[in-house]
Amino acid sequence: MTAEVIYGSELAEKLRKEMQGEVSSLREKGVIPKLTVVIIGEDPASKSYVRGKQKASKEVGVDSNLIELPTTTTQQELLDLIEELNDDSTIHGILVQLPLPDHINEQQIIEAISPLKDVDGFHPINIGRMVAGKDTFYPCTPFGIITMLKSKNIQMEGKKAVVIGRSNIVGKPVGLLLLNENATVTYCHSKTRNMKEYTKEADILIVAVGKEHFLSGDDIKAGAVVIDVGVNRMANGKLTGDVEFESAKDKASYITPVPKGVGPMTITMLLHNTIKSARQFHN
């Protein structure tokens, strides 16, 4: 079998076109969706993500501003800034780029952001709503993955879904969203024994490990749906995923590439959440 490749880049483009229309009609009503991104320090990967977020916002007509702070910023200074942003009625979405420097308590920062402006979906209130199966801001990468599966009418109900990785940003929430779609979900992680026994049984395999070619075609079931969340830079400078694409493609029914797979969907769902927030604030 040769898998159909799911290009998140194409779906992202289609969704952003639809969002342009939605933003135009909000603007006609005097509502200008606005996202504020806060970045601390000089991490090149974070800076590159943030630039992508700014560019995509502009493309769909969402106002965005970037607040760049030095690595020396204190916990209190960041908390004061978040309070100001929470109180600013022109701002609908607040995103503090992670990871934060070691001297900052990340969880306290996440909890300081108003759940109504938490377009990352990281606030415990929004996570709690997601666990309860309620509508809320869902974390962007997991939400992007579910949107990609739905765009191909891939059935999740009753399927064995295996998630490799248990980060708060990707692994844990994507498992919950799959559960909400009635999949039977198993989490694997660095302490899992005999991991390949699980991967070989998966109908839907989500790989979010961050290790170049962690799995190959030998590790997956024929006809599996493989979603590769990894973004790894190879020695030759090119990007690659957690899954060896060529061998997996010959065995899977659907597979996402890296780049042009899950990545473009993350920013798209961030814009979706920001527009949703703007709509809610003005209803």
In single-letter form, the type of residue at position 19 comes to: M
CB distance 147 to 12 below 8 Å: no
| The one among 23, 33, 34, 120 contacting ligand GUN by CB under 6 A | 120
Query: DSSP code of 161?
Result: E
On whether 30 is known to bind a ligand per the annotation, the reply is no
Residue list 69-98, contact with ligand GUN (CB under 6 A): 95-98
240 forms part of the interface with ligand GUN (CB under 6 A): no
Catalytic residue, chosen from 34, 63, 97, 203, is 97
Report in angstroms how near the CB of residue 229 gets to ligand GUN at its nearest: 11
Give the nearer residue to ligand GUN in terms of CB position, either 119 or 248.
Answer: 119
Give the nearer residue to ligand GUN in terms of CB position, either 36 or 240.
Answer: 36
- Strand 160-164 to 239-240 pairing: unpaired
| Annotated catalytic residue 155 | no
Give the nearer residue to ligand GUN in terms of CB position, either 95 or 202.
Answer: 95
Report in angstroms how near the CB of residue 59 gets to ligand GUN at its nearest: 18
Q: If we measure between CA atoms, which residue out of 279, 180, 162, 265 comes closest to residue 220?
A: 162
Return the number of other C-beta atoms located less than 10 Å from residue 71's C-beta: 13
CA atoms of 114 and 273, how far apart (whole Å): 14
Give the nearer residue to ligand GUN in terms of CB position, either 61 or 142.
Answer: 142
CA atoms of 276 and 98, how far apart (whole Å): 22
On whether 165 is known to bind a ligand per the annotation, the reply is yes
| Annotated catalytic residue 135 | no
Binding-site size for ligand GUN (CB under 6 A) equals 8
Catalytic residue, chosen from 34, 63, 117, 120, is 120
Residue list 154-183, contact with ligand GUN (CB under 6 A): 169
CA atoms of 133 and 256, how far apart (whole Å): 26
CA atoms of 97 and 277, how far apart (whole Å): 19
Report in angstroms how near the CB of residue 255 gets to ligand GUN at its nearest: 22
Give the nearer residue to ligand GUN in terms of CB position, either 50 or 185.
Answer: 50
| Annotated catalytic residue 97 | yes
CA atoms of 142 and 170, how far apart (whole Å): 6
66 forms part of the interface with ligand GUN (CB under 6 A): no
CA atoms of 165 and 171, how far apart (whole Å): 5
On whether 167 is known to bind a ligand per the annotation, the reply is yes
Burial state string for 137-151 with b = 16 or more CB within 10 A and e = fewer than 16 = bbbbbbbbbbbbbee
Residue list 249-278, contact with ligand GUN (CB under 6 A): 266
Q: What are phi and psi of 35, to 5 degrees?
A: -115, 135
List, by residue number, the catalytic residues: 53, 97, 120
Query: Which residues are at the interface with ligand GUN (CB under 6 A)?
Result: 95-98, 120, 140, 169, 266
